[in-house]
Structures are given as C-alpha cells and as structure tokens.
Chain A
Amino acid sequence: MKPRIIWLAVAAALAAGPPVSAAPTEAPPTEAPPAEAPPTETPPDGFEPGVWPALAAVVPGALVHGAGHFVAGDSDTGWTLLGIQGVGLGLVALGGVPLAATGASRKIIGPATAVALTGVGLLFTPMLPDVYGALTGGRDARPPTPVPLTARLGYAFVYDPQFAYRNFTTVGYEGRFDHLVLDGRAWIAVDDDNQRLRQQFDWRLWGETLGPREHDGALDLRAAVTWHRFGTDGFSRLSGELAVDGRYPLDRLGPSLRGSFALGALGWALEAYDYDVPGLGFGEDVFEQLLVRFGWGFWFADRGSVALYYDHRKDDFAGGFSAPGLGGGIPGYVGLAADYAVDDTWALDLDVRRGAAWIVGLGVRYRYGGTR
C-alpha cells in the first residue's frame, strides 16, 4: 500500500467524518480524559491551515518535514517536526554507519538495528502529523474513557499463500488496575488447526490507566507470552518478550497537532520452537527477535482512533514484506488499526495488516461500566 494512498484515505476520513481513537492491535486501548480538559496553546496569529499547506506537507514535505506548517504559518511546529526528522536522520546514521562499517556484525547487530529502526521511525513519521496539522489546524479530539474490564469478539481473514487457514475467530479481554493493564487475546482458526494465544502485562510508567489525568499519553513496560500452534503444519512456538511501549500525544509538540498521537515500541523477544518431528523436542531451536514499532494516529473526539504503524516482528500472522532487489534485510509489516465507540458500552475494532500476508480483522468490544 502506498503511503500517499493511505494518507488520502485518512484525509478523506478527516474531512468527511466525525472525529475518532486507535492503537495497534496489541497496544493498550484508549485512555481516560482528565476531569477537566487541560488548557491548550493556540496556534500563532496568521496560522491558516488548509489544502495547500497540506499539499506542501507532502511535496516537499515528504523530504522536508514541517513544510506544511511553515506554509500554514506555524513555523514553531514546523521546526519541531523538522527537528524530529533531523534526530531520526542522526539515529539512522548512528545505527546505520556501524552496521555498514562492520557488515552487520553479529557483535552489534541487535542494538545497532534498534537504533537505526528507531531513527527510521522518527525520520519518516513526522510527515503524517505535518499533513494533519497543516490540513486541520488541530482538533479537539481525545480518546474515550477506558473501563476496568473489556471483552472482545471478532473475526479475522488472513490470506497467506503459504498456509491453508483463512478464517479466524478472535476473542480477548482487557483488565485495568492501578498501574497494571492485562490484555489477553486468542486467535482460533475455524478452517484449520491453528491457534494463537497471547497474554500481555503492561506496567504503566507514565500516564494513568484509569480515571482522570492530565494528558493522553502512556508509557508501559511490557511483558508478554505468546503461544502459537500450527497443528496442520507440525510445529508450535512459545515466545516471551520484554518491551517499552508508548503513545505520545502530539499536542505537547504543537497546538496544531491536537488530537493526534505518535506510537512507539522497542523490545526483545526470545522464542522456542517445538517441531512435530520424531527425535526433536521443545526448544530444539531458540531464536531472538528485535521488536520495533512506530506509527502515528489521531483520535475521533471521544469515540475512537485511527493509527498507521510499522511493526518489525516476523512471527505474527502478517510476517514481513519481501525485500526484492538490493535490500539486505527483511522488513516487517505495516498496519492500520482503528476503533470506534458506538455508545458507552459497545465499540468496534478494525485491524488491517500487510506483510507476507494480508490480514483484515473486525471486532466488537463490550466495555463493562463504560462511559464514553
């Protein structure tokens, strides 16, 4: 999917629909607004968002992030976005130069790739909030109020030419406590012998899990265990992971970015395989995996969100993109996650991913004790 097409779809949604909130599938759902909305800065005098600034955010903004805000008259935010791009470029160099110089040496590959990929996220992602701010000038949109307990039920279509499965039932729950968020999900194929169970434990380091708060950001220390069984194909995998996962409300960077947020995660996983082959036992093969995710999204008032993201992991249903031509490594997948609170109690989820496979998931969420 081309980024420009994605953005056009997003821009169309912004222009046509009521404001929305979302996070990638595995990210903690939306957060509670404060009892009273915090005072927000206002854009500078003369700030004129619109179509032309938004176009400038694409050309030349694709290369020079912040261009849309410069054209619209908010140079402070423009410089901030350009600065983030510069930091991203610096991190790409910081991680990429050692990788190139050492031929991706095994001694530095993990940390250097993590730094370089984080840089890639910062290098390319600011274009999206630039378009958003230059087009809308910021929107009074915040996530819906989280509830202590959520139940999920859904359907996912997975097209992977290497596997027979296509249709999955997805179920899950989320429990929120003072600092802890528990998130459990199960994907069960209805047309194949395939099951994926995941339990995630998030310890909130920054931001609130429930109740009033000053901002819509979150930073979690995440531990997760995933068991994925491919019965038809003769193997299963147990993986454990540790990560730092966060969401940053972009109104903290500039008033015109109100209603949007950035996503990011960095972590490490260890996975053990169990092959259904005589003589081989659990843990015959054990591999590490680097976890990196970055993205951007915006909220629809107090009803939900839409987010675009890149995820570097290769053990999900989506796998990773091919790297034809001269590419040296294998990238992960891209995704779009959206959620929409129909009323205080019910919400809808959309999950689209593209890597080695296509995934389209639709779900309904019951929010126990919900008040939007």
Chain B
Amino acid sequence: MSRPTSNAAPRLARRAAVAAAVALLLAGCLRPAEEQVELDLSVGQRDVGIAAIAIAEGRAAVHRLLDGDAVLWAAAPAFEGTLTLDPAADDAWTVTLRNIRPDAVFEVDGVPQTPAERPVPTEAVYTLTLDPGAHAIRLRPAPPAGDRWRFAVLSDIQDAIDRAPDIIRLLEAQPDLDFLISAGDLTEQGGADEYRRYQEAFRALSIPYYATPGNHERGDEAANWTRSFGRANHSFPWRGARFSFVDSSFGTIDPTVYGWLDDWLAAGRDGIHVITTHIPIMDPEGTRGGQLRSRNEAAKLLVRLARRDVDLTLFGHVHSYYAFSLAGIPSYVSGGGGALPERLDGIGRHFLVVDVQDGVGVTAVGVVRVD
C-alpha cells in the first residue's frame, strides 16, 4: 500500500518541476534580451590565473589577456580599472589600447604613460614594467578646449562595409568631432569575422566610436558583440553631458536594463543627456511598425525619459532620416550607413553631426550626405 504513495510524491515532484520549467520557459521567452544583460555584466572582467583585469562599469572590453600582453577596447572616452599580476607573472608588459581618443592619457598607478607605438590615431601601445600585485589603470581624456563640441552619428551599415571608406573620408572632413556614436546594425549578421572587418575598416577613422547593437547583430552568437565592442547597454559621461546606449535590438528592453537606465537618467539629469537605441522607441511612420514591439512599453519608456529631461534620442533601424519629437524630446532616426536605403525620400547614405555648447545644450543637428 505504501508503494503508490512513495511513487506519487516523486511523480508529483516531477510534474511540479516540469510545470515550473514550462512556466519559466514561457516567462523567459518574453525577455529575449536577458542573455545580453548577463553578457554585459561580464564585460571588462578577465582572469587568466597569472593575471586579471577588472574594468569598472565594463567601459572597456578585454580583447586579449596573456602573460605580459593585454589588449583593451575602450567602449567609453574614459575608464578605470585594475590589472592584477600573480607573483609568477612576467614583469615586462605590453598594453594595447584600441578605440581611444588621440589625446587620451593612459595612467598606471597614477603615472601617465607615453605610448611606445601609435599605429593609428585611435590605438596606442604601451610597454610597461610591472611588479606583481594590483595596479590601478586609467584612461582619461585631455582637458577640454573651448565650450563647443561635436559628435557624429552613423548607423545601419550592414553589408555596405565595402563602401565605408567614403563615409570615413567625410567624417574625417568634419572639424572638431569628439567621437562617433552608432545606433547599431554595424554588420549584416553579427558574426565575429564581420566585427573584425568593421573594426579594421574603421581604424582609418581618427576618432573612437561607441555603439549599441541592432537587430542585425542578432543573427549570430550574442557574445560576439560583447567580445568585440563591450556592453550593449552602457552609459558614460562626457564634458558634463551623458551618453546612454540602450539595447533595443530585440524590439524590447530588458527589465534589468530599465533599472540601470534609471540610474543613468538620474546621473544625467543636470546636463545634456543623449539616449541611443537601435530600434526606435516609436516609428514616426506608425503603419510601418519599426519600433518597440509594444506601444505600451514605448509610452512607458518615453514618460521615463521625458520626466528626467532627456535632451535627445537617436535611433537607427529605419534606413532613412527622420526628425521628429517623442514626448517632447527631439528625436532622430538616422539609418544612412549604406544598408538597403529607403527610397523616394531623397536622403540616401548620410550621417548626423550634432553640435553641443556647454551650458546651453544641443545647438544643431545636421545631416551630412555621403552620395
């Protein structure tokens, strides 16, 4: 008589476990960007036993870490972190910084370093002698000159990377650009080789670029993005302003990221705050639907941004140019990197140049046509 009872309990437990797994699966399906959040948290953290790197807030991706050799990709104009060496580690180190501003200063334990080599303006190689233990590393910008500055916006290159040199030449012709930001779709499918090709092409650009992925970056392994460019969701201050990149490549923003965004919005409330996502929060052409998957989520996000006085929102995804307003926030869609363009709009390939004046705000958003 006891057998059925003893079997019933495990059976019930199995059914409960299956039900729980199914429930989790169904709930999980509603958070497609959750994996990216986990990956974001791993950016800038690498431990190979003999050496370890930890970059605060993931503002640099570790491209390589070997005994005596580190390569970092800056995902922000400045970062801080720690390089910790085991007693058995080599004391002769080569640290390569990629995607940095040409005037940026690299410090180790508070001492500015002089690059041994500068292959391109955005890349510096430092040769260092380091004792075992923890070393504070820091990339800091040079003091600003003047109160006016500019940045460019370029998105949706996808399969048009072969034509990127045209765009880079025009970007180089723009005076006083601090950096380039991208609202995603840098590649066609997000493959590791595509990212390498993109980074190689843009070594010709003398300013760094910071980005968030697009839906075309979701055609391959998600970790490819974080290995190459760092976090998909990130934020950094620049000259009293704040730039926040929010991953909308799945048509939704993960609830965890909304928590991060609240912190960024609070940090950026007193200055200029620029929010960049790939898929627009709302598509100015409502019948197209190139926007977040739920208009409810979109409106909720807009309330969040408007209440925190966001100054500018920038989007890609739609391969054209639109200037419009969302909850009173000046908004731009600029997907002119060369991917299949929207026709009949008279725009074609293009990028934006945004002018900013300290203490005043965004003073102009201009369109630079490439073709």
A352 to chain B, nearest CB (A): 12
Known: A277-B327, A325-B218. A330 touches B293 (CB 8 A): yes
Interface residues of B in 318-371 (CB under 8 A from A): 318-320, 325-328, 340-345
A285 beta carbon closer than 8 Å to chain B: yes
CA gap between A279 and B219 in the complex, in Å: 42
B206 beta carbon closer than 8 Å to chain A: no
CA gap between A277 and B302 in the complex, in Å: 10
Interface residues of B in 275-299 (CB under 8 A from A): 279, 282-283, 285-297, 299
B27 beta carbon closer than 8 Å to chain A: yes
Q: Are B344 and A107 in contact (CB under 8 A)?
A: yes
CA gap between A120 and B192 in the complex, in Å: 34
B306 beta carbon closer than 8 Å to chain A: yes
A101 beta carbon closer than 8 Å to chain B: yes
Q: Are A320 and B293 in contact (CB under 8 A)?
A: yes
Q: Using a Cβ cutoff of 8 Å, how many contacts connect chains A and B?
A: 185
Kindly state the interface size class of chain B when it binds its partner. Answer: 35 or more
Q: Are B288 and A319 in contact (CB under 8 A)?
A: no
Interface residues of B in 112-145 (CB under 8 A from A): none
* Contact pattern, A 234-258, Cβ under 8 Å of B = 1, otherwise 0: 1101000000000000000000000
Question: Residues of B contacting A114 with CB < 8 Å?
Answer: 287
Instruction: Tell me the interface secondary structure of chain A in the complex.
Output: loop
Known: A275-B302, A277-B303, A357-B30. A321 touches B293 (CB 8 A): yes
Interface residues of A in 311-332 (CB under 8 A from B): 312, 314-315, 317, 319-330
Interface residues of A in 208-238 (CB under 8 A from B): 228, 230, 233-235, 237
Q: Which of A107, A280, A289, A330 contacts B328 (CB 8 A)?
A: A280
Question: Residues of B contacting A321 with CB < 8 Å?
Answer: 251, 293
Nearest CB in chain B to that of A109: its residue:
B288
Q: Are A326 and B345 in contact (CB under 8 A)?
A: no
Q: Are A161 and B287 in contact (CB under 8 A)?
A: no
Q: Are B293 and A325 in contact (CB under 8 A)?
A: no
Nearest CB in chain B to that of A108: its residue:
B344
Q: Are B344 and A277 in contact (CB under 8 A)?
A: no
Question: Residues of B contacting A323 with CB < 8 Å?
Answer: 215, 250-251, 293
CA gap between A325 and B32 in the complex, in Å: 11
CA gap between A315 and B296 in the complex, in Å: 6
* Contact pattern, B 205-242, Cβ under 8 Å of A = 1, otherwise 0: 00000000001101100000000000000000000000
B3 beta carbon closer than 8 Å to chain A: no
A58 to chain B, nearest CB (A): 24
Nearest CB in chain A to that of B31: its residue:
A161
Q: Are B327 and A356 in contact (CB under 8 A)?
A: no
Question: Residues of A contacting B189 with CB < 8 Å?
Answer: 326
Question: Residues of B contacting A290 with CB < 8 Å?
Answer: 286-287, 289
Known: A161-B31, A289-B286. A280 touches B306 (CB 8 A): yes
Interface residues of B in 227-274 (CB under 8 A from A): 249-252, 255, 258
Binding site for B on A (CB under 8 A): 100-110, 113-114, 159-163, 228, 230, 233-235, 237, 268, 271, 273, 275-277, 279-280, 284-285, 287-290, 312, 314-315, 317, 319-330, 355-358
Smallest CB-CB A-B distances: 6 pairs: A319-B294, A288-B286, A110-B287, A287-B286, A103-B342, A356-B294
Contacts A324-B32, A358-B27 known; 10 new A-B pairs at CB < 8 A: A106-B285, A113-B288, A159-B27, A159-B30, A276-B303, A277-B328, A287-B282, A324-B249, A325-B218, A325-B219
* Contacts A/B (CB < 8 Å), 26 sampled: A100-B340, A102-B343, A102-B344, A104-B318, A106-B344, A107-B345, A109-B288, A110-B285, A162-B255, A233-B300, A235-B300, A273-B299, A275-B299, A275-B302, A275-B327, A284-B327, A285-B326, A315-B294, A319-B297, A320-B289, A321-B251, A328-B290, A330-B279, A330-B293, A356-B294, A358-B30
